[in-house]
């Protein structure tokens, strides 16, 4: 199948990836209500079609936090991407650089920040605050010294949400014997993935935190250690500690409430991501897009507002921009594309989003993404 949409990349990834990894990226927490809302609420927003406008010139570029982007899209941090494609974070970072958009590396990426920065463009770096502050300081220093331009501080994961799919697939909760048998079966039934990732994609560690984790062999061992070391005591005062090491822009990721958004302004953040962690944390909360307008109103021009969660097309991007987002970050979309066929498919997916965004702009009479606003939406 030749992929034409994000849903096509999802199907290709489902066929190619072992079940435990596909379910890990595809699933959400509990009954997955929020996961579905993220997509459904975007689908329910109607664009306002306009005609007889001079649309011979389009400008999709934006400037944000000192960077110029070719379009208002970035690749969100995705954990363990190196298990979907050989050295997956590197492949995705190269595709993003060629497209002129940012790639944000997860703390729990298989590839280290050094490996990703070595491909030519230092990534935005996403930080989970763990209990080992000494190692966190060292990690921040590494990212800073490598030239990472933006720190994305994820704040909505003081403890991992329960993901039933991971239990059913054997990704979590399985004994070592059960895990070994599952891995062996996955290798036999997914030979393409086995050759590309399992054999030639090693080491299967969490590259940026490997120095803090002792006596772990499997990527799931690392994730278990990470889960035990999330720090529930983190408050806004933690930004003062972060700034002792990091002097660049800080973006707070995981905001759904206007009061938290105002607190981010008071704490001196330069941006925030309206996000519910892709529906993978607290189930039953608002979709990102439904939370976006009130948050954008609450902070005004005091910081940059981005959004992730449910973006499946360029049309979705324009809808989010119309409701107050400066740019959108996609997570599952690029993970599916990576799982479907590596860097080439990630590049194609980004090109598809750009093409879809262009069509949406032309047919709504929007010459520049910087002009996108509520007037592009049909409220009747």
Give the count of alpha carbons within 13 A of 135, CB side only: 15
DSSP state letters, 340-351: HHHHHHHHHHHH
Take residue 203 and report the two structure tokens written for it: 């080491």
Return d(Cα 95, Cα 347) in angstroms, integer.
Answer: 5
Nearest CA among 230, 262, 221, 225 for reference residue 154:
230
Give the list of residues 6+ apart from residue 139 with CB closer than 8 angstroms, or none: 107, 113, 127, 208, 209
Catalytic position from the list 190, 200, 204, 277 = 277
Question: What is the SS3 assignment for 66?
Answer: coil
**CA-CA distance, 165 to 155, in Å (whole number)?**
24
Please, which residues have CB within 8 angstroms of residue 312's CB and are 6 or more apart in sequence?
5, 6, 7, 39, 42, 333
Q: Are 282 and 29 in contact (CB under 8 A)?
A: yes
Q: What are the φ/ψ torsions at residue 362 (nearest 5 degrees)?
A: -60, -45
Query: Which residues contact residue 379 at a Cβ distance below 8 angstroms, ignoring those fewer than 6 apart?
Result: none
For CA atoms 139, 154, 87, 119, give the dihedral sign: negative
Distance CA 305, CA 264 (A): 11
Task: Tell me which DSSP letter residue 115 carries.
Answer: H
Q: Please indicate whether residue 204 is annotated as part of the active site.
A: no
Burial of 43 (0-12, 13-18, 19+ CB in 10 A): middle
Query: Catalytic residue positions?
Result: 277
């Amino acid at each position: 199948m030749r992929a034409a949409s994000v849903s096509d990349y999802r199907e290709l990834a489902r066929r190619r990836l072992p079940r435990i990894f596909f379910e890990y990226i595809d699933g959400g927490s509990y009954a997955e209500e929020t996961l579905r809302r993220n997509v459904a609420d975007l689908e329910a927003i109607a664009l306002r079609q306009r005609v007889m406008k001079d649309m011979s010139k389009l400008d999709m570029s934006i400037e944000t936090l000192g960077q110029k982007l070719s379009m208002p899209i970035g690749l969100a941090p995705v954990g363990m991407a190196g298990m979907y494609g050989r050295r997956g974070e590197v492949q995705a970072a190269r595709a993003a650089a060629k497209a002129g958009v940012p790639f944000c590396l997860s703390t729990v990426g298989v590839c280290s920040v050094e490996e990703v920065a070595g491909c030519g463009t230092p990534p935005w770096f996403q930080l989970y605050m763990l209990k080992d502050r000494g190692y966190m300081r060292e990690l921040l220093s590494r990212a800073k010294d490598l030239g990472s331009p933006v720190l994305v501080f994820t704040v909505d994961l003081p403890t991992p949400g329960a993901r039933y799919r991971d239990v059913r697939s054997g990704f979590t909760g399985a004994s070592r014997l059960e895990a070994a048998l599952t891995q062996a079966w996955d290798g036999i039934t997914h030979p393409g993935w086995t050759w590309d990732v399992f054999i030639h994609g090693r080491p299967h560690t969490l590259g940026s935190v490997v120095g803090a984790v002792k006596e772990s062999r499997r990527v799931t061992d690392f994730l278990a250690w990470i889960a035990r070391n999330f720090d529930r005591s983190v408050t806004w005062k933690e930004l003062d500690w972060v700034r002792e090491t990091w002097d660049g822009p800080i973006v707070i990721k995981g905001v759904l409430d206007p009061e938290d958004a105002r607190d981010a302004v008071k704490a001196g953040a330069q941006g925030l991501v309206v996000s519910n962690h892709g529906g993978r944390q607290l189930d039953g909360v608002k979709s990102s897009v439904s939370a976006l307008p009130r948050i954008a109103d609450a902070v005004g021009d005091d910081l940059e507002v981005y959004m992730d969660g449910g973006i499946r097309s360029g049309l979705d991007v324009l809808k989010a921009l119309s409701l107050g987002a400066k740019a959108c970050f996609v997570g599952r979309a690029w993970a599916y594309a990576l799982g479907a066929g590596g860097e080439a498919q990630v590049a194609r997916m980004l090109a598809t989003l750009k093409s879809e965004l262009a069509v949406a702009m032309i047919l709504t009479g929007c010459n520049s993404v910087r002009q996108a606003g509520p007037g592009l939406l049909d409220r009747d």
